[in-house]
């Protein structure tokens, strides 16, 4: 059990290290995404009615 826990801790440290090195890449999101979603959802509701 102790060996398994040590292996998991090693894996966690490895993953955290790789995450720290990865560049922060933010997705390109339309600033009006909530409005677009609302409009599309309303259109869908009208079509289904």
CB atoms within 10 A of CB 6: 10
| Host domain of residue 18 | 1-48
Whether the CB-CB separation of 3 and 9 falls below 8 Å is answered with no
Domains: count for the chain? 1
| Alpha-carbon span 36 to 29, nearest angstrom | 12
Give CA torsion, residues 24, 31, 29, 34, to 10 deg: 120
The tens digit of pLDDT for each residue in 1-49 reads 999 999 999 999 999 999 999 888 888 888 899 999 999 999 999 988 7
Whether the CB-CB separation of 36 and 30 falls below 8 Å is answered with yes
As a whole number of angstroms, the longest Cα–Cα distance in the chain is 60
Instruction: Record the pTM.
Output: 0.47
């Amino acid at each position: 059990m102790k060996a398994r826990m040590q292996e998991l801790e090693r894996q966690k440290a490895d993953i955290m290290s790789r995450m720290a090195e990865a560049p922060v890449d933010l997705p390109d999101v339309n600033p009006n995404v909530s409005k677009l979603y609302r409009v599309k959802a309303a259109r869908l509701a009208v079509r289904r009615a």
